[in-house]
Chains A and B, each alone.
Chain A
Amino acid sequence: DTEVTQTPKHLVMGMTNKKSLKCEQHMGHRAMYWYKQKAKKPPELMFVYSYEKLSINESVPSRFSPECPNSSLLNLHLHALQPEDSALYLCASSLSGNTIYFGEGSWLTVV
């Protein structure tokens, strides 16, 4: 079973709010990812965690703050976002960094 679960599926937040996106996988994967996707565009890598340590930060603004509490969980904390941050946020995981499996995504709207 290749399942990555994301919550919430939809989130609307104001520009002064603080919210979090959550991701969970129970496949024993050791790498977890956050991607951002705008409509009909390919996903853009934001962060990579490998063995619970941040290994890649693609120069993402500090208003996005990732956290990996354990090997199964990945959070993305959101604060002071801008309307242009509205997008689909995809979590993903992989066993060895080769085949990457994506979740269903969280649709974020910033108002």
Chain B
Amino acid sequence: GDSVTQMEGPVTLSEEAFLTINCTYTATGYPSLFWYVQYPGEGLQLLLKATKADDKGSNKGFEATYRKETTSFHLEKGSVQVSDSAVYFCALSANQGGKLIFGQGTELSVKP
């Protein structure tokens, strides 16, 4: 079945460091890919998405490119801030009734 694998956390970075959170997926067909962010005590917010191969999603300085050849959707940001501290979830949707398949989540902590 479809699945998503994320790098394990927690990830601790200093402010202004470069961020990469790895995400790979297994899916039959052509899924859409998403990154969601969950700040402490809050719900999930859609951070960015890509719906087909080679699409790049971007938002708030974060980027991820849909790589079909490597089945990956790695999240990157050039310079993280303390306010980026959160849990990040990679997910895919194969449009099977709108079911999202989530990775296990990666907790990011950014220190001043």
Main secondary structure of the interface of B (DSSP, over half): strand
A6 to B42, CA, bound (A): 12
A88 to B93, CA, bound (A): 22
Chain A residues near B46 (CB-CB < 8 A): 2, 99-102
With known contacts A2-B46, A99-B32, A104-B42, A42–B98 Cβ distance under 8 A: no
Chain A, interface residues (CB within 8 Å), range: 20 to 34
A97 touches B36 (CB 8 A): no
Binary contact readout B44-79 vs A (1 if CB under 8 angstroms, 0 otherwise): 111001010000000000000000000000000000
Chain B, interface residues (CB within 8 Å), range: 20 to 34
Minimum CB–CB distance for A29 against chain B, Å: 10
Is A74 in contact with chain B by the CB < 8 A criterion? no
B95 touches A97 (CB 8 A): yes
A29 to B93, CA, bound (A): 17
Is A105 in contact with chain B by the CB < 8 A criterion? yes
Main secondary structure of the interface of A (DSSP, over half): strand
Chain B residues near A94 (CB-CB < 8 A): 98
Binary contact readout B85-110 vs A (1 if CB under 8 angstroms, 0 otherwise): 00101010101011110111101000
Minimum CB–CB distance for B5 against chain A, Å: 12
Binary contact readout A71-99 vs B (1 if CB under 8 angstroms, 0 otherwise): 00000000000000000101000100111
With known contacts A101-B46, A104-B43, A43–B102 Cβ distance under 8 A: yes
Query: Which residues 13-37 of B have a CB within 8 angstroms of A?
Result: 32, 34, 36
Q: What residues make up the interface of A, taking CB atoms closer than 8 Å to B?
A: 2, 6, 31, 33, 40-43, 45, 48, 50, 55-56, 88, 90, 94, 97-105
